[in-house]
Amino acid sequence: MAICSPSSESSSATSGRAWVVHALVVGAAVVAAVGAHAAVYFKWFRKDRSRVVGIIPARFASSRFEGKPLVRILGKPMIQRTWERAKLASTLDHVVVATDSEKIAECCREFGADVIMTSESCKNGTERCNEALQKLGKNYDVVVNIQGDEPLIEPDIIDGVVRALQGAPDAVFSTAVTSLKPEDGLDPNRVKCVVDNHGYAIYFSRGLIPFNKSGKVNPQFPYLLHLGIQSFDSKFLRIYPQLPPTPLQLEEDLEQLKVLENGYKMKVIKVDHDAHGVDTPEDVEKIEALMRERNIS
Ligand SMILES: *[C@@H]1O[C@H](CO)[C@@H](O)[C@H](O)[C@H]1NC(C)=O
Ligand SMILES: *[C@@H]1O[C@H](CO)[C@@H](O)[C@H](O)[C@H]1NC(C)=O
């Protein structure tokens, strides 16, 4: 807890630097003593947050769409499409599917995915990622939560979110936004985001933010739409589900607000991406039509 809490950030950053200086000295001694060897050398200088795992949480039960991860999109299970895209991301050392369903697990093993079984009691994807991380039993610095219902997610976006977190040691969380279409401005299912000059999130809302005094969507303003992908510092992920719900989180029904309300920083990258989330059976037809149009098979 202390490692991640914002109040101790400066002190842990200081001790982090001290450690690096120490490692430099020891590293130099080792190099001098045994002769320079690239592997040894680079071990001492390994970048923080370098070990990255991508986790695709997938549950079978869903109020809106039972068995959603297994739905076929142009003949291929949706979860397989997401997994294949994730495997192309160059920043991920490992990609796993985390599920509570034997059916999903079996399907995933068939197309070659590593699967971690998680309990049915996981309340949300974040909790499932956390449980999967514990069960993986390996040390990862960064965990990317790759939503299984975005089968067209670009590997570049996954890499972008990971690199954003690697490049912002003061942030515990990173995510992506894209341009909001004006016609989606007043849709509460499209989550809007505002960021500061340095690309850190200020707020997320289901309402239109910023709000123009005309009361209408301003066609000139570059509103931002939040995309589902998130990456976490793994130390933060361990405490995130345990942080008690916060007032803004509850009012907006947006998990990520808990991060900001507790004073943590979140790095946001802007990407070019048409979001094609699959939430309902009707979305499947829409995405198939689009894939045919774009010749994606
Ligand atoms: C609000 O939106 C209108 C266009 O709809 C724009 O002209 C104006 O600059 C915006 N901002 C304010 C403060 O009115
Ligand atoms: C996920 O569910 C748990 C348990 O209900 C809750 O405490 C938590 O706030 C939710 N969200 C996150 C991001 O952990």
Total domain count, the chain: 2
Residue 90 has pLDDT above 50, yes or no: yes
| Ligand 2 atom nearest residue 242's Cα | 7
CA of 72 to the centre of ligand 1 (A): 44
Distance CA(225)–CA(90), nearest Å, equals: 25
Count of all residues that appear for the chain in the document: 297
Q: What is the mean pLDDT of residues 256-270?
A: 97
Here the CATH number for the domain that contains residue 228 is 3.90.550.10
Residue at 7 is within a domain:
no
Q: What is the mean pLDDT of the chain?
A: 85
Give tens-digit pLDDT for 153-179. 999 999 999 999 999 999 999 999 999
Distance CA(136)–CA(128), nearest Å, equals: 12
Confidence (pTM): 0.81
Question: Where in the sequence is the domain holding 24, given as residue range(s)?
Answer: 14-44
- Of all residues in the chain, the percent with pLDDT exceeding 70 is 84
Residue 60 has pLDDT above 90, yes or no: no
Which are the contacts of 260, defined by CB distance < 8 A and separation ≥ 6?
201, 202, 203, 204, 248, 266
C-alpha neighbours within 13 Å on the C-beta side of residue 185: 16
- Please give the backbone phi and psi of residue 52, each rounded to the nearest 5 degrees, phi first: -125, 130
The verdict on 119 and 148 lying in the same domain is: yes
CA of 204 to the centre of ligand 1 (A): 21
Q: What is the pLDDT of residue 47?
A: 54
Q: What is the pLDDT of residue 291?
A: 93
Residue 288 has pLDDT above 50, yes or no: yes
The verdict on 56 and 39 lying in the same domain is: no
Residue 1 has pLDDT above 50, yes or no: no
The verdict on 28 and 126 lying in the same domain is: no
CA of 214 to the centre of ligand 1 (A): 7
Distance CA(129)–CA(93), nearest Å, equals: 16
